[in-house]
Copies of this chain bind each other. A is one copy, B any other.
Amino acid sequence: MTLGLKPQKLSRATFSDFGDVIEVDGSKRILINEGTTERFHDLANIDVESGSGHTLVNIFRGQMRPQPIDIKMMERHPLGSQAFIPLQNKPYVIVVAPVGKNVGPEDLKAFIADGTQGVNYKRDLWHHPLLVLEDNNNFLVVDRGGSGENCTEHWFTDTQGIAQIVL
């Protein structure tokens, strides 16, 4: 069985159960540097300290998957949050499901982010790996480094079926 999954527009309100939206609009603003810089302050809960973890900064470069995009699995990082911030102002797709032991196609929510919006997945949130809509699309990624097993995958069973993104 294939479940159609239509992404909704990403916003703090629609994404609040899953983590943070990293964007200027609606953020706390502090004027610094003699008035030449606005600081939009503390936009994500970077939660990486479990098991003596620490913050990593990385760049992820994503390639397109075959269209339409099939969602056949989800993953989660039990020891840390993971933030994605687009570096090339291109829209991208986000698929998440609530924190919990099990996940299937019927649990999924999809979002479309504009190229100025980053997201921070809260610790242990089910999410699909990076889904870009153009090749060679770079993101800054802020996640956890340190020992311990920090990735769990669940591939949907035949009984569960899959979901397919409807753009």
- Which A residues have a C-beta under 8 Å from some C-beta of B? 22-24, 27, 32-34, 36-44, 46, 48-49, 54-65, 83, 85-89, 116, 118, 120, 129-130, 138, 140-142, 145
A140 to B142 alpha-carbon distance, docked (Å): 11
Complex contacts, A46 vs chain B, CB 8 Å: 54-57
- Chain B nearest Cβ from A43, distance in angstroms: 5
Given A37-B129, A57-B142, A88-B89 contact (CB < 8 Å): yes
Complex contacts, A141 vs chain B, CB 8 Å: 39
- Chain B nearest Cβ from A46, distance in angstroms: 4
- A sample of 16 cross-chain residue pairs with beta-carbon separation below 8 angstroms, ordered by A number, consists of A27-B59, A33-B129, A36-B64, A37-B63, A38-B61, A39-B58, A40-B59, A41-B56, A42-B58, A42-B145, A43-B58, A48-B55, A57-B85, A86-B87, A118-B140, A140-B140
Cβ contact within 8 Å between A60 and B43: no
Complex contacts, A129 vs chain B, CB 8 Å: 32-34, 36-37
A56 to B129 alpha-carbon distance, docked (Å): 24
> Which residue of the partner chain, among B24, B58, B60, contacts A138 with CB atoms under 8 Å?
B24
- Chain B nearest Cβ from A91, distance in angstroms: 15
Residue in chain B with minimal CB distance to A87: B87
Q: A27-B59, A57-B83, A87-B87 are in contact. List 20 more A-B contacts (CB 8 A).
A: A22-B57, A22-B140, A34-B129, A37-B61, A37-B62, A37-B63, A37-B129, A38-B60, A39-B59, A39-B141, A40-B58, A41-B58, A42-B58, A42-B145, A43-B58, A48-B55, A57-B85, A85-B87, A87-B89, A116-B138
